[in-house]
Chain A
Amino acid sequence: MAELTQIPKTEELKNEYEIVEEIKNLLGSDLLEYKVPRVNRVWITVPNGKHYKVAEHLYKKLGVWFISTVTGLDLKDHFEVLFHLLDMQRKVEITIKVPVSKDKPELESLTDFYPGANLYEREVYDMFGIVFKGHPNLKRLLLAETFPKGEHPLRKDWTPDKWDPKKVQLIQRKPILPEETSDYVLQVGPQTPTLKEPMNFEVIVDGEIVVDVIPHIEYNHRGLEKAFEQRTFIQGIYMAERVCGICSQAHTLPYCDAVEQLLGVQVPPRGKYIRTMVTEFNRIHSHLLWIGVACHLIGWDTMFMYSWRDREVILDLTDLVCGSRVTAAINTIGGVRRDITDEQIHKIRKGMDILEKRTKTYKKIVLEEDTLLKRAVGVGYLNPSYLKAMSAVGPVIRGSGVKTDVRYDDPHFGAYDEIPFNVCTSDMCDIAGRLVVRVDELIESINIVRYILDHLPSGEVRVKVPRKVPPGEAVSHNEAPRGEVFYYIKSNGTDKPERVKVITPTMANLLPIIESCKGHYIADFVLNFGSIDPCIACMCRTTFTDISKSKPKQWIWTDEQMRQYGIEWYQNRGWRR
């Protein structure tokens, strides 16, 4: 970190210093501190109260419209709130730090300029008890409504035993509708065939038309951010992997990248390329899964079966390269764990050929199948300017024609600055647009993988790194299959992080998608939420123990043997295939 901060004002850092100059001119002596640790990063510290002015300036004059997230920090003597903004024109991630006193934890909300900060600020309030003045709906988000008042678990003085189960009052949710109305409240979730993950929506319907949707996402809080603080940086990789099973690679990549920024190490080019390739594998597998689930949601199970069958190809390739089908576990701090061989490259090329052929067929089907288009075209309309205001991410915002992609806007987390690729967009602004974007991205990902195989540099795949990380802070993000995944890591000189902040794309897309459901049919509600994927991890290798003999015999099957066994088992019953 230390040596990186000494990068002089070169042509390379022109955009970064331009922003710093702008804010210097605006605030004068009120700008407490600033630093430009590397390209694409600007950190500024302003006193409480001035951040509103800075955000206004950034939003109105510099055209910064995207907020990644809001982070809370407990620094023993005071709190700190960090607003992470992304300037897409200049490709700079700007972090505004605001110190907040512990006696009066209050500051102005930025929802006036960034309505998308709504849920992020609620999360900070939930975890730290910091009050955002002017926030439209400040209440708990991730924790249940029954959690005792005044308890905020990410404060450093809070421990689980402080939480007394007897203090929990079971609050009955108030009926949200008056007695005399013909409207219904339809409960979708936490357990329903539509959503495979625990999440509850109170859908107010008038006959078949959705009037309003109230989301409750407090069912699945696992305390991961707290758990990160109790584990070493190496263990943290495996925690990050389990934030989401499907996007496992998408989470470990920014985590490792942020830790590498703190350590000041550079990943060898070959390692970077392999990381990027596995990230694209991840995207292919997630998008194929999504297409299947979306078709299942509108009752087209045939397409579901076909796309999940073809997803096996990419899962096998992930298994081949990483050793596991779903959780890739290939990233480590300083590079990747395994190299790839020429034989593997050959197999990957073959797999990509199959996938390209199938994907093109799917594209044709998706664009021509009438019953599918009837359900997708013109449904769930989302205005691009509204999505920009709400800071939506991923295929949702690209499906409305806004060209944003972290791989393009801040390409240094992987090898994306060296790889040519298109950012796929669609101007249909509806479910069909999101579908088209995802199918296009599949083809684009296949091309990226091919480019990587053609231009794979030789050399080492990882560098050795020390266990202890020098104090500092870093942010990194990645374009996961569903949108931006954002990591903020603060280290304190030990082998454990001081704070890890994770933000996932569903949070950013939740409010816009709810908005798009209003006024549509119940039937369209489920497809609109189609991007919430289930994760099904399978075992690829099995250990057998034969206990019938006096000496238990153990043997291990490879997946080839297991597949052969499966094929033979069916053939013995008179079944082909």
Chain B
Amino acid sequence: MVLDIFLGILQIVLFPGIVFCIGLTFLLEWIDRKYYADLQNRMGPLYVGWRGILQPFADFIKLMAKEDITPKAADRKMFTATPLFSVVVPLLALLFIPIANITGVLSFQGDLIFILFLTTIVAILIILAGYSSMNRYSSIGAARAGLQLMGYEIPLTLAALTPAMIARSLTITEIVQYQAVAGMSILLFPSMIAFGVFIITLLPELEKIPMDIPEAETELVAGWQTEFSGKKYAFFRLSNNLELLLGAGLAVTLFLGGPYGIEKLPGLTALDLVIQGNIVLSTVWYTVWFLIKTAIVVLVITNLRALFSRYRIDQMVRGAWRYLTPLMIGVTAITMLLSAVAPGLYPVV
């Protein structure tokens, strides 16, 4: 009993919980920056560690040591609380993602809805942060963040629910296990469209370049982040990285088969049994596969970031309502229809 509690705390704090996730975000940021630089014919981080691998961590430490200024006009409590909450909320959501095991550290019936709810909370925290700093750039940035949320929220949720409908479950663990039997849901018919929409809607959620409208550097200085400096800014950066991990992890979990590797392919049953027999081996095996898949999703996002120029807010919202939302409603309808008409298409596990 005591050992169980101790192990549980260890899981939450160390692996695959808070410390591991934060370390992983720095790694993903490095991959993102390095690949972005390579696409742009630059070098990227170079000095700290092996090929600059520790640069994101060094940036974080440096920002933590910088002067932290709170504007006189700002709403002090909100201004201090939002950076903290924006780190805590994605960390909480990450505990539900299966990283080192086929279930997350935390799990309950219908936890997918809870995670989607948490992603919305992060967006609302951004709006609050922008308004609480009482700056004109921040206010405009926050208003843009709110408008964006209106645009991408519905397609994002519907896209995340498509594999859930195929698996006939709202529990992340069950969706992952379903994919272990029926194959990655990206390979199933309407779900591959949902994957595309999911990646596109991740861009405004993460404020990556074609949709980095709320913080548009050349227009609004730094948008809603303008007044944040020092520790608070470091926390927002960390929060954004955690969101990147969360978004990529969610994409992996829902569409790319979660932490399962090649062992579920037909003919490799022996390998599967070996892995499941050894707890250390299975932890390493699943973590590595999760890492590889997450990195692939991050590279896709980076590629999109390098390819396009920024949309205007009206173009983004119009595009989301004109194309993405109807498309996702259609995909949802088709999924429901197919699972009713042709039950053999999505086998019941």
Contact = CB atoms under 8 A, between A and B. Distances in A.
Given A299-B212, A524-B312, A194 B218 contact: yes
A298 B310 contact: yes
A301 B40 CA distance: 8
A305 B40 CA distance: 6
A524 B218 CA distance: 11
B26 to A, nearest CB: 21
B321 interface: no
Interface string A352-377: 00000000000000000101101100
A192 to B, nearest CB: 6
B207 to A, nearest CB: 11
A208 interface: yes
Given A375-B312, A573-B46, A523 B41 contact: no
A201 to B, nearest CB: 12
Nearest to A373: B309
A525 interface: yes
B209 A299 contact: yes
Interface string A298-317: 11111101100100000000
Give the bracket for the number of chain B residues in contact with chain A: 20 to 34
B51 A574 contact: yes
Interface string B134-162: 00110110011000000000000000000
Interface string B207-224: 001101100111111000
Nearest to B220: A522
B42 interface: yes
A193 B308 contact: no
Given A186-B136, A299-B216, A302-B39, A208 B221 contact: no
B219 A522 contact: yes
A521 B310 CA distance: 13
A222 B181 CA distance: 74
Contacts of A309: 41
Contact of B217 (A193, A375, A521): A193
Nearest to A294: B309
A310 to B, nearest CB: 10
A524 B313 CA distance: 11
A555 interface: no
A24 interface: no
B309 A306 contact: no
Nearest to A303: B309
Given A186-B136, A299-B209, A305-B40, A371 B219 contact: no
B43 interface: yes
Contacts of A82: none
Contacts of B42: 305
B307 interface: yes
Interface string A373-386: 01100000000000
B217 A523 contact: no
A574 B46 CA distance: 10
B210 A371 contact: yes
Contact of B219 (A184, A300, A525, A570): A525
B311 interface: yes
A144 interface: no
A321 interface: no
Contacts, number: 89
A2 B143 CA distance: 68
A570 B314 contact: no
B61 to A, nearest CB: 23
Contact of A299 (B39, B41, B218, B315): B218
Contacts of A521: 312-314
Contacts of A374: 311-312, 315
Nearest to A208: B313
A184 B42 CA distance: 39
A526 B41 contact: no
B309 A369 contact: yes
A462 to B, nearest CB: 40
B212 A306 contact: no
Contact of A375 (B143, B209, B309): B309
A295 interface: yes
Contacts of A184: 136, 139-140
Interface centre among B139, B140, B218 (most CB of A within 10 A): B218
A309 to B, nearest CB: 6
Contacts of B143: 207-208
A298 B41 contact: no
Interface centre among B136, B307, B310, B314 (most CB of A within 10 A): B310
Contacts of A573: 46
B306 interface: yes
Contacts of A185: 136
Contacts of B51: 574
A297 interface: yes
B218 A522 contact: no
A523 B40 contact: no
A389 B311 CA distance: 33
A38 interface: no
A554 B41 CA distance: 34
Contact of B216 (A205, A303, A523, A575): A523
A296 interface: yes
Given A299-B216, A306-B40, A375-B309, A193 B221 contact: yes
Given A193-B217, A371-B210, A522-B220, 13 more contacts: A194-B219, A205-B140, A207-B143, A208-B144, A296-B218, A298-B310, A299-B210, A306-B40, A371-B310, A371-B311, A374-B312, A375-B309, A521-B312
> Which 5 residue pairs across A and B have the least CB separation, nearest first?
A299-B310, A300-B309, A305-B40, A298-B309, A371-B308
Interface of B: 39-43, 46, 51, 136-137, 139-140, 143-144, 209-210, 212-213, 216-221, 306-315
Interface of A: 184-187, 192-194, 205, 207-208, 295-303, 305-306, 309, 369, 371-372, 374-375, 521-526, 570, 573-575
22 contacts: A186-B140, A193-B217, A193-B218, A193-B221, A194-B219, A208-B143, A208-B313, A295-B309, A297-B218, A299-B216, A299-B218, A300-B308, A302-B40, A305-B41, A305-B42, A371-B309, A371-B310, A374-B311, A375-B309, A522-B220, A523-B310, A575-B46
